[in-house]
Structure 1
Amino acid sequence: MVDIRQVDDHENVNGVNLSLKIETRTNTPNTKIFTISFKNKERKAHWPKLSLILAIIFNILSFVYVRISVNTLLVIIIVLLFLVFFWITYSVQSESIIVIPTVGIQSTTKYVFGRVDVFVPWSNIDDIVINEVIKLNRVLYYLTLLVKRGPNQSSQESDGIKLMPLFKYTKPRLVLLEIIYSEFQTLLMGAQRDGVQSGSGDIE
């Protein structure tokens, strides 16, 4: 059985409407899935569409007012097709994380075609924080996973902490990040408490 909670009417840092869906799997104890998606199929940014439109207008004007060869026209068509392919393929539709205590966390970025999954074992998770980043004249907030580097990595990377930002494409505002952070901390503390009671060494 799946318990679904929907949080709507929130915008990301660029003013695009977002939707947060929280799924709780009752058949798998304490498993939660957090999914942030763009409402009404809106994209994460408008610059690819703007670039495509400007390129089409520029090439139409060039074709009308400037005499160009067939080879040049073919190059222009190829560039336009590449822009269309890039815009369609790399448009992010949604981002989600699946939290399974004592097992791990899987972060998924879904594109128009395909998806990218990143899995972090539970034993490598140190904590989760809301990180404040100053970018140009804006202050942005990112939900960041603190991942412990394993001993099997190189000597330069071992015994350190790696920062893994979550929802870096949808860029939700602080209010949505706080909801996810609160739910995640509840799962993390519950797993730590169960680990101490059972004597498990997975959680430090």
Structure 2
Amino acid sequence: MGGNDKIIEHENVNGVGLLLKVGKSSGSPTSRHFTISFRNKENRKTWPKLSLVFAILINIMALFYVHISITAILIIIIVLSFLVFFWITHSVQSESLLIIPTVGIQSTVKYVFGREENFVPWSSVDDVIINEVIKLNRVLYYLTILVKTNQATQDSETIKLLPLFKYTKPRLLMLETIYTELQALLTEFHVDQSANGSGDRT
């Protein structure tokens, strides 16, 4: 990532501000690196914090006003500890996508502690689409990679869907920016591959 990075600011489907950074890797000029992070981390954490505080207050009130055994108190403490641990370890900070043509595509989800990475070899990438999903009364869009998988029992290839940016939930504007660049790289690769394969063999 260098000084020529393109930055796009927009809200996600929940109205939370997002920041999209588009850059190139210094090692490969044809590569692309997309990172979507929360513009205002305080707003993003408001609802999880409130729910956690309410859960703790309700359990404290239960301890004072309801006569319960020591076993029940220990269970409540264990459950609260698990909720705090889950909230800390699964609070998403950002999601990124690194695309290196002829090598592969790596998606990364960064949490408060640790990260989760998923790598797809370039030869397994069949196509990329923007998938439309209806959830309750909303229409959500997901950038989805179509991954070719070989089944051990069959010779035919099957297609697996790999949705990206599931946690930041960007709107269509950001997804179209990533889709356009990724589709251009895929098209260029397929054209080069066809050109190299169409020559006369000696």
Considering the TM-score relative to the shorter chain, is it more than 0.5?
yes
Equivalences for 1:136-175 in 2 at 5 Å? Answer: 136-150=136-150, 153-155=151-153, 158-175=156-173
Change (3 A) 1:49 1:159: same
For each residue in 1:34-66, what CA deviation from the matched residue of structure 2 results, as whole angstroms up to 9, or x when unmatched?
111112325767654343222112112112212
Equivalences for 1:20-99 in 2 at 5 Å? Answer: 20-42=20-42, 48-99=48-99
Aligned positions, number: 197
Name stretches of at least 5 consecutive residues in structure 1 with no aligned partner.
Answer: none
Equivalent pair of 1:35/1:97 in contact (CA under 8 Å)? yes
1:112 corresponds to which residue?
112
SS of the equivalent of 2:157 reads: coil
Q: Distance in 1 between matches of 2:45 and 2:165?
A: 14
Equivalences for 1:184-199 in 2 at 5 Å? Answer: 184-199=182-197
Change (3 A) 1:95 1:157: farther
For each residue in 1:9-57, what CA deviation from the matched residue of structure 2 results, as whole angstroms up to 9, or x when unmatched?
x111111111101111254131111111112325767654343222112
For each residue in 1:103-138, what CA deviation from the matched residue of structure 2 results, as whole angstroms up to 9, or x when unmatched?
110111111111111111111111101111111111
TM-score, normalised to structure 1, is 0.87
Equivalent pair of 1:25/1:31 in contact (CA under 8 Å)? yes
Name stretches of at least 5 consecutive residues in structure 2 with no aligned partner.
Answer: none
Q: Distance in 1 between matches of 2:113 and 2:155?
A: 34
Equivalent pair of 1:34/1:180 in contact (CA under 8 Å)? yes
Q: Distance in 2 between matches of 1:72 and 1:161?
A: 49
Aligned AA for 1:60?
Answer: I
1:7 equivalenced with 2:5 (yes/no): no
Indicate the RMSD between aligned Cα atoms, in angstroms. Answer: 2.2
TM-score, normalised to structure 2, is 0.88
